């Protein structure tokens, strides 16, 4: 319920002013540190935790409700007590960050409002419930450089999930999994160098579903895994990021954390089906490097006049400095969405590391 002073002037106009405490709360909320959600960075948070002293967005406030012994949330539209407003004035997002995010490792994934609920919830629990980042002495399992355990892995043929032993070893530079508990030879060795991991709960059909992508014999492979304990799964995810971080620090000496962190894992901007079309020599590896327009990468609707889509009619031509790649989409809307996604990538300048990736693609058939 909104609490307000109602003023009626002699001319008959009606004005509503928030009452004293709520007006003070608005002042606290207007502070730069409180302009975005303390947990996901969403602008204009409209909830606050009375126990933690932070402002959060509505989506995060729902996750705070899941830890009532730690956090008690209230809408900023409610009627506020003076003591609660004072607490938020004394604390606020910056003070809380200094306490709860004191020792977040550089590689640790900080979710945004676009990430899946499980990832956002675990970030909130890691900070406020498990106090994972408050003490330097506390060694979290994902920092160790070695991790071993069981994950449910989707079978290639029947789509059934089977328990498989996984080992991540920075020393060996690889993530491996084994088909049988006693098997000595791994079923797959995924090099940390080529590894990507991204949560795909809807696609995998599990809130903790993780898609792991790697290169084998120059082609992209995917495996789909989950752990029934969300904390375990997020620990695996961050262990993979830690291993990638340490690998990249060696591969690109002198690069700053700000340059390396975006390279640890990538979320897919858009995923879906396009038909590969065009000449037969088509790229075997299943990946196309997309650089910036400043480096002569462009995308245009349609296909060269000599080429037709095999089944689908809505063509897309991607022009790279080396050659053209031709795709076709089923619908015009899909074609538009894909072109927009490619353009978002091409509008960004390439980072120094991306020149190395580009060269890697050019030198492979
Ligand atoms: Zn939020």
Tell me, in angstroms, the distance from the centre of ligand 1 to residue 45's CA: 7
- Residue 2 in this model has a pLDDT that exceeds 50: no
Dump pLDDT digits (tens) for 45-54. Answer: 999 999 999 9
Dump pLDDT digits (tens) for 329-357. Answer: 888 988 998 899 899 889 988 877 678 77
Tell me, in angstroms, the distance from the centre of ligand 1 to residue 56's CA: 5
Tell me, in angstroms, the distance from the centre of ligand 1 to residue 179's CA: 40
Q: Where is the domain boundary, 231, 263, 295? A: 263
What percent of the chain is predicted at pLDDT more than 70?
88
Tell me, in angstroms, the distance from the centre of ligand 1 to residue 128's CA: 14
Tell me, in angstroms, the distance from the centre of ligand 1 to residue 222's CA: 31
Q: Where is the domain boundary, 263, 290, 306? A: 263
For 316, counting Cβ atoms within 10 Å of its Cβ (0-12 exposed, 13-18 middle, 19+ buried), the class is buried
Compute the distance between CA of residue 364 and CA of residue 119 in angstroms, rounded to an integer: 36
Tell me, in angstroms, the distance from the centre of ligand 1 to residue 5's CA: 30
User: How distant, in Å, are the alpha carbons of 34, 103, 125, 204, 267 from that of 96?
Assistant: 11, 13, 14, 35, 28
Tell me, in angstroms, the distance from the centre of ligand 1 to residue 236's CA: 23
User: How distant, in Å, are the alpha carbons of 81, 88, 105, 215, 247 from that of 195?
Assistant: 51, 42, 20, 7, 11
Q: Are residues 181 and 235 in the same domain?
A: yes
According to DSSP, the residues that pair with 147 across neighbouring strands are 168
Compute the distance between CA of residue 283 and CA of residue 297 in angstroms, rounded to an integer: 17
Tell me, in angstroms, the distance from the centre of ligand 1 to residue 67's CA: 15
pLDDT of residue 351: 76
Q: Which H or E run contains 353? A: helix 352-362
Report the SS3 class of residue 230: helix
If pLDDT is split at 50, 70 and 90, which confidence band does 365 have?
Answer: very low
Nearest alpha-carbon partner for 364 in 269, 283, 301? 283
According to DSSP, the residues that pair with 174 across neighbouring strands are 169, 191
Tell me, in angstroms, the distance from the centre of ligand 1 to residue 124's CA: 10
Q: Are residues 121 and 19 in the same domain?
A: yes
Report yes or no on 270 lying in a domain.
no
Tell me, in angstroms, the distance from the centre of ligand 1 to residue 173's CA: 35
Dump pLDDT digits (tens) for 112-148. Answer: 999 999 999 999 999 999 999 997 666 777 778 899 9
Q: What is the mean pLDDT of the chain?
A: 88
Give the alpha-carbon dihedral of 68, 70, 74, 75, to 10 degrees: -100
**Range name among 34-38, 89-93, 285-289, 319-323 with the lowest pLDDT average:** 285-289
Burial 156-185 (b: 16+ CB within 10 A, else e): eeeeebeebbbbbebeebbbbbbeeeeeee
Tell me, in angstroms, the distance from the centre of ligand 1 to residue 42's CA: 5
Report yes or no on 136 lying in a domain.
no
Q: Are residues 243 and 153 in the same domain?
A: yes
Which stretches does DSSP call E strand in the chain?
A: 4-8, 14-18, 47-49, 54-56, 73-75, 146-154, 161-169, 174-178, 188-191, 196-199, 210-216, 219-226, 275-277, 298-301, 314-319, 324-329
Tell me, in angstroms, the distance from the centre of ligand 1 to residue 47's CA: 9
Q: Are residues 9 and 123 in the same domain?
A: yes
Tell me, in angstroms, the distance from the centre of ligand 1 to residue 63's CA: 9
Report yes or no on 10 lying in a domain.
yes
Report yes or no on 135 lying in a domain.
no
Q: Are residues 309 and 357 in the same domain?
A: yes
Tell me, in angstroms, the distance from the centre of ligand 1 to residue 53's CA: 14
Nearest alpha-carbon partner for 176 in 164, 163, 166? 166
If pLDDT is split at 50, 70 and 90, which confidence band does 282 have?
Answer: very low
User: How distant, in Å, are the alpha carbons of 180, 297, 312, 324, 336 from that of 304?
Assistant: 50, 17, 15, 10, 18
Tell me, in angstroms, the distance from the centre of ligand 1 to residue 52's CA: 14
Compute the distance between CA of residue 200 and CA of residue 212 in angstroms, rounded to an integer: 10
Q: Number of structural domains, the chain?
A: 3
Report yes or no on 279 lying in a domain.
yes
If pLDDT is split at 50, 70 and 90, which confidence band does 74 have?
Answer: very high
- Residue 173 in this model has a pLDDT that exceeds 90: yes
Q: Are residues 45 and 93 in the same domain?
A: yes
- Residue 92 in this model has a pLDDT that exceeds 60: yes
Dump pLDDT digits (tens) for 4-47. Answer: 555 566 666 665 555 788 999 999 999 999 999 999 999 999 99
pLDDT of residue 145: 87
Report yes or no on 137 lying in a domain.
no
**Range name among 154-158, 241-245, 298-302 with the lowest pLDDT average:** 154-158
Tell me, in angstroms, the distance from the centre of ligand 1 to residue 1's CA: 22
**Range name among 83-87, 141-145, 156-160, 315-319 with the lowest pLDDT average:** 141-145
Tell me, in angstroms, the distance from the centre of ligand 1 to residue 287's CA: 34
Q: Are residues 317 and 255 in the same domain?
A: no
Alpha-carbon Rg for the chain in angstroms:
25
Compute the distance between CA of residue 132 and CA of residue 102 in angstroms, rounded to an integer: 9
Q: Which domain holds residue 243?
A: 142-263
Nearest alpha-carbon partner for 89 in 29, 36, 23? 29
Domain harbouring 181, CATH code: 2.30.29.30
Average pLDDT over residues 307-316: 79
Q: Where is the domain boundary, 129, 160, 180? A: 129
- Residue 229 in this model has a pLDDT that exceeds 70: yes
What percent of the chain is predicted at pLDDT more than 90?
63
Q: Are residues 343 and 250 in the same domain?
A: no
Q: Are residues 177 and 204 in the same domain?
A: yes
Q: Are residues 186 and 288 in the same domain?
A: no
């Amino acid at each position: 319920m909104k609490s307000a002073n109602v003023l009626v002037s002699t001319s008959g106009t009606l004005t509503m002013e928030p009452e004293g405490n709520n007006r003070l709360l608005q002042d606290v909320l207007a502070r730069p540190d409180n302009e975005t959600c303390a947990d996901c960075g969403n602008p204009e948070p409209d909830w606050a935790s009375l126990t933690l002293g932070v402002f959060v967005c509505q989506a995060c406030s729902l996750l705070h409700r899941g830890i009532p012994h730690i956090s008690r949330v209230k809408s900023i539209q409610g009627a506020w007590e003076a003591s609660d407003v004072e607490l938020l004035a004394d604390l606020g997002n910056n003070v809380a960050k200094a306490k709860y995010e004191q020792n977040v490792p550089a590689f640790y994934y900080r979710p945004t409002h676009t990430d899946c609920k499980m990832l956002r919830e675990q970030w909130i629990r890691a900070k406020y419930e498990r106090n994972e980042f408050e003490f330097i002495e506390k060694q979290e399992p994902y920092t160790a450089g070695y991790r071993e355990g069981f994950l449910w892995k989707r079978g290639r043929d029947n789509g059934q999930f089977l328990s498989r032993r996984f080992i991540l070893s920075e020393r060996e530079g690889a993530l491996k999994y084994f088909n049988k508990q006693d098997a000595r030879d791994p079923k797959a060795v995924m090099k940390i160098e080529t590894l990507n991991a991204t949560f795909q709960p809807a696609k995998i059909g599990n809130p903790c579903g993780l898609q792991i992508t790697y290169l084998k014999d120059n082609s992209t492979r995917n495996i789909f895994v989950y752990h029934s304990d969300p904390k375990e799964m997020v620990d695996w995810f961050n262990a993979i990021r830690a291993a990638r971080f340490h690998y990249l620090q060696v591969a690109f000496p002198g690069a700053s954390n700000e340059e390396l962190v975006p390279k640890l894992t990538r979320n897919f901007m858009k995923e879906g089906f396009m038909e590969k079309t065009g000449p037969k020599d088509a790229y075997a590896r299943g990946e196309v490097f997309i650089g910036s327009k400043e480096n002569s990468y462009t995308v245009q609707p349609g296909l060269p006049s000599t080429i037709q889509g095999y089944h689908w009619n809505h063509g897309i031509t991607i022009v790279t400095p080396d050659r053209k790649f031709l795709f076709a989409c089923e619908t015009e809307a899909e074609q538009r969405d894909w072109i927009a996604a490619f353009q978002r990538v091409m509008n960004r300048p390439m980072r120094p590391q991306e020149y190395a990736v580009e060269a890697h693609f050019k030198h492979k058939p």
